[in-house]
A and B are shown apart, each in its own frame.
Chain A
């Protein structure tokens, strides 16, 4: 089996997911990657299997050659928890490289190829897709939240990144082996770099495209999420 795995956390994505699923699957099939969709509670999910079937991808049997599987959290746990469930599944299946992509359709799956190329070159243990390395339309508030999050990541992990909160990331076999995220929510993006700091992983950024819609803007970072993230990171540092 191929040892590349694409993890997609989804929560109440509905039709949006159906719209961008074909482009994700076409990239996955071309690069020979399996797709693990983690349905993080919420409404629906069963229809995803039907959609993937219509697109010629078998659902449910990971051992098949075109692989796509749906894992379901009984209740909504948060995007970080969903990503870690996907990573754990990939690990148990012996995957060597893992890519993550947000389920809200803001990313272009074509960019996964860039991340994969960097990982295959072995130039970094963690490849971070950055929405800010390209000139593109991003709401000002989103830019501010991201900048503040970058400062927090720099303070707690020591990496200065242009887009620490990006959901599109790639992990090498070395990173995959040790990665053990405990953050359930958006702070998973910060915890990744904390772990990178502890284990001495190298981090590299590559430019990716982003397409904001009303749906994707309704999710993601906000001031409240930022405050919550800081408190949770502080509490987490006491829990260890």
Chain B
């Protein structure tokens, strides 16, 4: 049975990828994403999901910087966490930036021609 061979990582990662793919389809169906963006995210998340399910896909690449597999898992987890954290931060920054812009815009439109403090 294939499921007996699956580790937690190789089970959760494809599930997460699947969720993200569904989200992309949802955004696309609501016309919030273009088909090109949908395609981009499909390629990214399918790639991540497939590599998690079939890690041997990477075997053709040079051995992952020569570190034994136990450490690989740590590095992999670390990178996933960092990647996730980075995107969360970026999204927060974007949201904050949008709020600042909207605030500035409304002030500028309310009092044209004047320096505002």
Contacts and interface: CB of A to CB of B under 8 A. Distances in A.
Contacts of A89: 108-109, 112
Contact of A235 (B31, B94, B113): B94
Given A70-B113, A238-B87, A38 B108 contact: yes
Contact of A88 (B94, B100, B105, B114): B105
Contact of B113 (A59, A85, A237, A238): A59
Interface string B20-39: 00000001000111101100
B31 to A, nearest CB: 6
A6 to B, nearest CB: 15
B113 to A, nearest CB: 4
Interface residues of A, number: 40
B108 A72 contact: yes
A237 B33 contact: yes
Contact of B91 (A49, A156, A235): A235
Nearest to A70: B113
B90 interface: yes
A155 B116 contact: no
Contacts of A70: 112-113
Contacts of B109: 71, 85, 88-89, 92
Interface residues of B, number: 29
25 contacts: A38-B108, A46-B115, A49-B113, A60-B112, A62-B112, A69-B113, A71-B108, A74-B107, A74-B108, A74-B116, A75-B104, A77-B101, A78-B101, A81-B105, A89-B112, A92-B109, A155-B40, A184-B101, A197-B34, A198-B31, A198-B34, A235-B91, A235-B94, A239-B95, A240-B33
Interface of A: 38, 45-46, 49, 59-60, 62, 69-75, 77-78, 81, 84-85, 88-89, 92, 155-158, 182, 184, 194, 197-198, 231-232, 234-240
